[in-house]
Amino acid sequence: MDSHLQRYPLMETPLEKALTTMVSTFHKYSGREGSKLTLSRKELKELIKKELCLGEKMKESGIDDLMRTLDKNSDQEIDFKEYTVFLTTLCMAYNDFFLEEDK
């Protein structure tokens, strides 16, 4: 994954870097166990704990709730599309936070 990101460093704008980070973060965890193209509960938990500040405070029951909410097709795995729904929700929460701070 990194080789692709490094191949085009001069072409990348901040928004493109944001998109590649979202993709590479998924694959950093999805490849650890089971299917390489999906996040298991354990992989999702590791991603949240390591890559998001909110993860530190999240309890096991919070991980379970999140897993249930994101896993639309109920296969106990989070695929890339389900992961983008999660990021979109976070992105909208960030936006609300910034708008609130700007008041």
Q: Is 76 left (phi over 0), alpha (psi -120 to 50) or beta?
A: left
> For 1-103, where are the E strands, in sequence order?
38-39, 78-79
Q: Please, which residue, 47 or 67, has the CB nearer to a copy of itself?
A: 47
Q: Please, which residue, 52 or 68, has the CB nearer to a copy of itself?
A: 52
Q: Please, which residue, 51 or 65, has the CB nearer to a copy of itself?
A: 51
- Tokens 């460093």 locate to 9
As measured in angstroms, the least distance from the Cβ of 27 to a copy of itself is 7
As measured in angstroms, the least distance from the Cβ of 44 to a copy of itself is 13
